[in-house]
Structure 1
Amino acid sequence: MEIHPGKQTFIDDFFIESMLGTQRVLNPSEKLTVENSIHTVLPEMPWERDEATGPIIYDENQQIFHLYYQGAKGRICLLTSTNGTDWARPELGSIDFEGSKTNNIVNWPNDCPAIGAILWDPKATDEIYRWKRIHHFPHQGVWQALYSKDGYNWQHYPPGDHNYQKQFFGFGSSKETFGGPIFPDAPYILYAQRGSSRRTRVLGRRDSNDFLNWSGMHTVIDQDQEDPPGTEFYSAGFDMANRTDGGLRIIMLNTYLTDLSEPYAIEDPENYWGESKGPTVIPARIDGFVEPQLAVSRNTVSWTRYRQPFIQRGQPGAWDWGQVYASGPVRHKEKLLFFYNGSDLTHNGRSPRPYEKAYARPVRRGIGLATLRPDGYVSIEADSYASGCLTTHRFRQEFGGRLNVNVDASAGELGYEVLEDTGKPIPGFTVSDCDPIRCDTLGGILSWNGVTGWPEVSQERQARYPELTRSEFYIKLRFYLAPGTKLYSVTLDPPEVTMWQVKIKGRID
Structure 2
Amino acid sequence: MLTDDKTPRVKNQARAWTDPGPVVAGLVLVVMGATVERLSAAEMGSVGQLTGRRLPAESKPPWKKVSGAARESIEDGRWVVREPKNFCRRLKIGDYQQTDGQKNEVRFEWITNCRDNRRADGFSIHTQGRRLRLHPIHRPNRPDLLLMGVRGGMGPDIAASHVDLTALPGFDARKSNRYVLRWVTQEINDFRFELSINGKPIAELTGEPRVVGRDVSIGFEFRGGTHSISSVAWDMNRGGRRVVSPGARTAVRRLAMGYRELFLDDLMVAELRGIEKVLHRPIKYSRNPVIRHHQRPWQKFRAQLYGTVLYIPEEKIFKMWYLAGARFPDEAAIRLDGKPRIPNFQMLAYAESRDGLNWTLPDLGLVSFNGSRHNNLCRFSRENAEGVGVVHDPHDPDPTRRYKAFYWEHSVRSPHKIPVAVEISAMSVSFSADGKNWTNHPGNPVIPQASDTGHQALWDPFRKVYVAYGRFGAGGRKIARSESRDFINWSPSQLVFAADATDTKSRGGHPQFYGMGTTIYEGTYIGLPWLFWENSSNRLDVQLASSRDGIHWQRAGNRQTLIPNGKRGTWDGGCIFTASQPLQVKDDTIYIYYSGLSLDHEQPRPSRRERPEYGESSIGVATLRRDGFVSMRAGEKPATLVTGLFGWPAGRRLHLNVDASEGEVRVGVLDQNGRPLRGFARSKVISGDRTDVVVEWTGSGEPKAKSVQLKFEMTNADLYSYWLK
Which of residues 358, 369, 373 in structure 2 aligns to 1:86? Answer: 358
Given candidates 224, 247, 253, the residue that maps to 2:529 is 253
Change (3 A) 1:324 1:425: same
- Asked whether the 8 Å contact 1:419–1:425 carries over to 2, the reply is yes
Paired letter, 2:518: F
Is residue 396 of structure 1 aligned with residue 647 of structure 2?
yes
1:59 CA displacement: 4.4
Task: Assess if the C-alpha contact under 8 Å between 1:390 and 1:478 holds in 2.
Answer: yes
Matched, 1:155 2:447: no
1:223/1:391 CA distance change after superposition, 3 Å: same
In the alignment, the residues of structure 2 paired with residue 2 and residue 209 of structure 1 have an alpha-carbon distance, to the nearest angstrom, of: 22
Q: Which amino acid aligns with 2:433?
A: K
Which residue pairs with 1:294 in the alignment?
Answer: 544
Say whether 1:67 aligns with 2:286. no
1:5 aligned to 241, 258, 274, which one? Answer: 258
**Which of 411, 416, 429 in structure 2 is aligned with 1:145?**
429
Instruction: Determine helix, strand or coil for the equivalent of 2:637.
Output: coil
> 3-state SS of the aligned residue for 2:656?
strand
Amino acid at match of 2:467: I
2:598 is matched with 344
Give the Å deviation of 1:398.
Answer: 5.8
Contact 1:184 1:300 in 2 (8 A): no
User: 2 CA distance for matches of 1:410 and 1:389?
Assistant: 18
How far does residue 26 in structure 1 lie from its aligned partner after superposition?
0.9
Which residue identity lines up with residue 477 of structure 2 in the other structure? Answer: R
Distance (whole Å) between structure 1 residues aligned to residue 700 and residue 357 of structure 2: 40
Q: Structure 2 vs 1, CA of residues 129 and 11 (structure 1 numbering), >3 Å: closer, same or farther?
A: same
Q: Within 1, Cα distance between the matches of 2:701 and 2:616?
A: 53
> Does the residue aligned with 1:288 lie in a helix, a strand or coil?
coil
Between 1:88-97 and 1:127-136, the stretch displaced more is 88-97
Secondary structure at 2:546 match in 1? strand
Could you say which residue in structure 2 is the equivalent of 1:169? Answer: 451
Query: Contact 1:79–1:88 (CA<8 Å) still a contact in 2?
Result: yes
SS at match of 2:400: helix
Q: 1:311 aligns with which of 563, 577, 593?
A: 563
Task: Tell me the amino acid that sits aligned with residue 185 of structure 1.
Answer: R
8 Å CA contact 1:108, 1:155 repeated in 2: yes
**8 Å Cα contact 2:301/2:615 also seen in 1:** no
Post-superposition Cα deviations, 1:112-146, rounded to whole Å, max 9, x if no partner, equal 44254131324642332111112224553455321
Range with bigger deviation, 330-339 or 2-11:
2-11
1:31 paired to 2:313 = no
Q: Which digits, 9 at most, give the CA deviation of each residue in 1:332-376, with x for residues without a partner?
A: 23211111111111101269xxxx99x997456321211111111
Aligned in 2, Cα 1:208/1:397: closer, same or farther, shift over 3 Å?
Answer: closer
Match of 2:388 among 117, 120, 123: 117
Q: What is the aligned-residue RMSD (CA, Å)? A: 3.3
- For 2:711, the equivalent position in structure 1 comes to 478
Name the aligned partner's letter for residue 316 of structure 1. Answer: R
> Cα 1:302–1:407, aligned 2, differ >3 Å: closer, same or farther?
same
Structure 1 match to 2:514: 234
Please state whether the residue corresponding to 1:311 is helix, strand or coil: coil
Instruction: Give the total of aligned pairs.
Output: 420
**Mapped partners of 2:471, 2:549: distance in 1:** 19
Distance 1:122 1:410, change over 3 A: farther
Cα separation, partners in 2 of 1:20 and 1:454, compared to 1, 3 Å: farther
Distance in 1 between residues matched to 2:575 and 2:525, nearest whole Å: 24
- Measured against aligned partners, the alpha-carbon deviations of 1:213-256 in whole angstroms (never above 9, x if no partner) come to 222222222233322332211001124xxxx4333100110111
Partner of 2:719: 487
Structure showing greater relative contact order (alpha-carbon pairs closer than 8 Å, 6 or more residues apart): 1
Amino acid at match of 1:15: M
Counterpart pick for 1:191 among 451, 454, 469: 469
The residue matched to 1:409 in structure 2 has which SS? strand
Question: Does residue 419 of the first structure (1) align with residue 670 of the second (2)?
Answer: yes
Secondary structure of the 1:253 match is strand
Pairing partner for 1:437 from 678, 686, 690: 686
- Which of 612, 622, 633 in structure 2 is aligned with 1:381? 633
User: C-alpha displacement at 1:84, in angstroms?
Assistant: 2.2
Distance in 2 of aligned mates of 1:44 and 1:397: 55
Confirm or deny that 1:220 pairs with 2:470.
no
For the Cα contact (< 8 Å) 2:511–2:532, is it kept in 1? yes
State how far apart, in whole Å, the 2-side matches of 1:440 and 1:452 are.
26
Superposition deviation, residue 76 in structure 1: 4.0
3-state SS of the aligned residue for 1:89?
coil
CA contact (8 A) 1:94 1:107 kept: yes
Alpha carbons of structure 1 residues 123 and 419: separation in structure 2 relative to 1, 3 Å: farther
What is the distance in 1 between the residues matched to 2:673 and 2:610? 67
- The aligned counterpart of 1:467 is none
Q: Is the 2:301–2:616 contact (alpha carbons within 8 Å) kept by the matching residues of 1?
A: no
One-letter amino acid matched to 1:190: A
Which amino acid letter does the alignment assign opposite residue 268 of structure 2? F
Which deviates the most, 412-421 or 135-144? Answer: 135-144
| Structure with greater strand percent | 2
2:178 paired residue number: none
CA contact (8 A) 1:40 1:86 kept: no
Does the 8 Å CA contact 2:663/2:687 hold for their aligned counterparts? Answer: yes
CA distance in 1 between counterparts of 2:254 and 2:384 reads 34
C-alpha distance in 1 between matches for 2:299 and 2:534: 34
- Residue 445 of structure 2: SS of its match in structure 1? helix
Q: Name stretches of at least 5 consecutive residues in structure 2 with no aligned partner.
A: 1-252, 327-333, 337-346, 412-421, 454-460
String of CA shifts for 1:45-80, please: whole Å, max 9, x gaps.
Answer: 6x6655644334224132322333426535543222
Residue number in structure 2 paired with 1:507:
none
Aligned to 1:275: none
CA contact (8 A) 1:447 1:453 kept: no
Identity fraction in percent:
27
For 1:393, give the aligned amino acid. G
1:280 is matched with none
Between 359-368 and 148-157, report the one with greater CA deviation. 359-368
Per-residue deviation, 1:292: 0.7
- Structure 2 length as normaliser, TM-score? 0.53
Q: Quote the Cα distance in structure 2 between the aligned partners of 1:320 and 1:256.
A: 14
Structure 1 runs not aligned, ≥5 long: 172-182, 261-286, 458-472, 494-509
Partner of 1:502: none
SS for the counterpart of 1:77 is strand
Partner SS for 2:335: helix
For residues 65 and 81 of structure 1, what CA distance do their matches in structure 2 show? 5
Q: Larger C-alpha radius of gyration, 1 or 2?
A: 2
Shift of 1:407: 0.6
How far apart are 1:23 and its partner, in Å? Answer: 2.3
Q: How many Å separate the matches in 1 of 2:395 and 2:254?
A: 15
Whole-angstrom CA distance in 2 between matches of 1:164 and 1:247: 28
Deviation at 1:316, TM superposition (A): 2.5
Q: What TM-score does the superposition give when structure 1 sets the normalisation length?
A: 0.74
CA change 1:344–1:205 in 2 (3 A) is same
For residues 74-102 of structure 1, the C-alpha deviation after alignment (integer angstroms, 9 at most, x for no partner) is 55432221122212232334456788755
CA contact (8 A) 2:386 2:409 kept: no
